[in-house]
Structure 1
Amino acid sequence: MNDQLLIRRGDRTVPITVFARTSATPEVAFAVIVPIDLSAVFRPWGPFPGIAGVEGQTAAWDRAGVSRRPRFTDGSQAVEALTEYTEGHGFAYQLTDFTNVLARLASGVRGEWSFLPDGPGTMIRWTYEFKPLPGRRWLVAGPFAPLWTRYMRAALDRMVAAIEEVPAR
């Protein structure tokens, strides 16, 4: 899928990264987050809509090339495609074709999740890398970024809570 990658070397992007720890192993954290119900963790916050559901998923979310359409609570949608998947360790995806305000800010986003051993638990690293439209980088990197960081942290906190509910194995 390298010929279809949204972000390439030399692109001036705006990465936003959040971290969280969980007492679960990387394998357990990965197994909970990959199939998680997006509508349960992406709730409306501030200027951002939540996710109402997902449509058109072409197969199980477990290999590069699978795609789906997240539908947002404001009636908009995007196209999401899994670009990388390493069982138990991490995955990456691209979001494009936004029909909301993000369509006026960025040509797309690359999301990446890593599940890193942290003693008996896991350090989760989640990055959203925005590819701003020409002339919009200042807006994405400036006033937009701290708001989006809070939105990501709230969603990640809900995901970690779901991981912590899994019985120890």
Structure 2
Amino acid sequence: MSGRSATAVTELLATATLDHTWDVATMHTPVGLYPRAGLLPAVVEVRDQTGDWDGVGQTRQLMLSDGGSVIEHTTNVDRLEFFAYNLTDFQKVFGGMVESARAEWTFTQAPNGTLIRWRYTFHSKAGYGIPLAAIIKFLWGPYMARVLPGIVAEIERSRR
């Protein structure tokens, strides 16, 4: 029996140029921007990053506040438009439920800045589709909606 997918999406406008928004949102370390929220751990460290996180095929390991980690691997880097990476090797609770995940960031120039659209799709291990879908709907989706404003605040705070 194969697993199922569960997706969450959020979007927000950054009142900064497309170029600046891209540089901060895609190249900035996730440490400090992804805090602990209830059962979801914070990103506390990045290890073994290969490159500047600006090209296809780069990897890094995110260390989490619950002692777990996850591996990110860039798959798409279309400057100023689209950035995506796959996540594997989940540990702790997600390790038992999640086969892999994919994060996609789309950047669109808007009249007053840049529209950021963030999409996360999790692929469950066999038998965990329903519980994973509930976690994504009730925990991860709301978490994304709380995290993206912090990323936008960092973009606007560091505006050139």
Q: Same fold (TM over 0.5)?
A: yes
Q: CA RMSD in A?
A: 1.4
1:13-162 paired onto structure 2 within 5 Å? 13-162=5-154
- Whether contact under 8 Å (1:52, 1:72) holds in the other structure is yes
Deviations 1:55-84 (A, max 9, x none): 001111011100000000111111110011
Q: In the alignment, residue 122 of structure 2 is paired with which amino acid?
A: F
CA distance in 2, matches of 1:27, 1:115: 10
* Cα deviation, residue 35, structure 1: 1.7
Distance apart, 1:119 and its partner CA: 1.2
Task: Structure 2: give runs of 5+ residues left out of the alignment.
Answer: none
User: Normalising by the residue count of structure 2, what TM-score does the alignment of the two structures yield?
Assistant: 0.93
Q: Which runs of 4+ in 1 moved over 3 A?
A: none
Is the 1:27–1:89 contact (alpha carbons within 8 Å) kept by the matching residues of 2?
no
The alpha carbon displacement at 1:143 in A equals 4.2
Q: Aligned partner of 1:64: which letter?
A: V
Deviations 1:100-141 (A, max 9, x none): 211111101100000112213111100110001112111122
Task: Please tell me whether the aligned partners of residues 30 and 90 of structure 1 are also in contact (alpha carbons under 8 angstroms).
Answer: no
Distance in 2 between residues matched to 1:41 and 1:130, nearest whole Å: 20
Percent of aligned pairs sharing the same letter: 30
SS at match of 1:41: coil
User: CA deviation digits over 1:25-49, x for unaligned, max 9?
Assistant: 2221111111212111011001010
Q: Whose relative contact order is higher, 1 or 2, with alpha carbons under 8 Å and at least 6 apart?
A: 2
AA at the equivalent of 2:125: L
TM-score between both structures, scaled by the size of structure 1:
0.88
Task: Tell me, yes or no, if the aligned pair for 1:94 and 1:110 is still in contact at 8 Å.
Answer: yes
Is 1:56–1:69's contact at 8 Å kept on the other side of the alignment?
A: yes
User: How far apart, CA to CA, are the structure 1 residues paired with 2:136 and 2:80?
Assistant: 32
Q: How many residues align?
A: 158
Deviation of the 1:13 alpha carbon: 1.5
Structure 2 CA distance for partners of 1:143 and 1:76, relative to 1, 3 Å = closer
Distance in 2, Cα, partners of 1:44 & 1:15: 20
